[in-house]
Structure 1
Amino acid sequence: MEVRGIRNNNPGNLNYVGQAGAVLEPGPNARFARFPTAEAGLAALRDQLRRYILRDGIDTVAGIIGKWAPPSENNTAAYIRGVAHALGVEPDTRLGPPSPRLLTGLMNAIIRFENGQNPYGPLVARVARDASSHSLHSPDSPRIS
């Protein structure tokens, strides 16, 4: 059986909060969003990272992953170390604006940590590049995580 994030087309394992096009995953422990396509799930992951960086001013791996995967549910310290290593930065290094290169690196690292694999190949970079054509939601919009 496929892992939950891949099965739900939600490689970032984003909680369901009424995202456009998403539904609540089925099952007794349902809490994550299920997207209609892998591309839609990747776009939701990208957009949440952009919100953290641009709207919330969270621009370090430690800050992003600390919010993404709180210690009450995750081994956040290991997650931070893994993502920082994948990006080749220290956990508290300021990452700068959400460029396609940065988003691709963050997305790939999060996907691997969340799912133990990353079956998406070049689709991740393509979705990350599409970020420039999407604006952030207003501060009133539902948060994805």
Structure 2
Amino acid sequence: MMTKPLGLRRNNPGNLRYSPRNQWRGSTYRSGAFEQFSTMAYGYRALLITLRTYMQKYRLTTVGDLVTRWAPPEDHNDTEAYVRFVERKTGFHRWQELRCDKSTLIALASAISHQENGVPAVLSEVEEGWKLI
């Protein structure tokens, strides 16, 4: 039997890092560098809210900008490969201006979860996270 990736075991599909500044609803943080949530819906809620914040507060409205913030090269990420992956999974071009709406955020969250965990996101779980926003 294969073990689920850590992000899925912790109900944290975006592998959001723990920060005492973030008081996420549904957080059950215990120890370690990454958040842990009581349900996958709360994990997707946090991922979706983070993406929305990037788009609205920081004006990051393209796949290229969002992924570079999410997985910066200075954190030893292959950011270029990550951008290409999200482009393929969402159908959005790297410099296409994106809308901050339900369908866009769900597509981005699903692609990020897939990249972070190596398995496709379960769409119904992403949508449950959206309902909690």
Same fold (TM over 0.5): yes
Assess, with a 3 A threshold, how the Cα gap between structure 1 residues 71 and 93 changes in structure 2: closer, same or farther: same
Q: TM-score, normalised by structure 1?
A: 0.80
Structure 2 unaligned blocks of 5 or more: none
Q: 1:91 aligns with which of 89, 94, 115?
A: 94
CA 1:119 to 1:59, structure 2 compared with 1: closer, same or farther past 3 Å? closer
Aligned to 1:113: 115
**1:1-145 map, 5 Å:** 1-18=3-20, 19-20=23-24, 21-24=26-29, 26=31, 30-72=32-74, 73-96=76-99, 98-128=100-130, 130=131, 134=133
Aligned residues: percent identity? 33
- Say which structure is richer in helix: 2
Q: Distance in 1 between matches of 2:129 and 2:58?
A: 22
Question: Aligned Cα RMSD in Å?
Answer: 1.7
| Distance in 2, Cα, partners of 1:126 & 1:34 | 17
Residues 75-126 of structure 1, C-alpha deviations (whole Å, 9 max, x = no match): 1100001111222122111112x21110111011001000001352322134
TM value normalised by structure 2:
0.86
Please list every run of 5 or more consecutive structure 1 residues that lacks an aligned counterpart in the other structure: 135-145
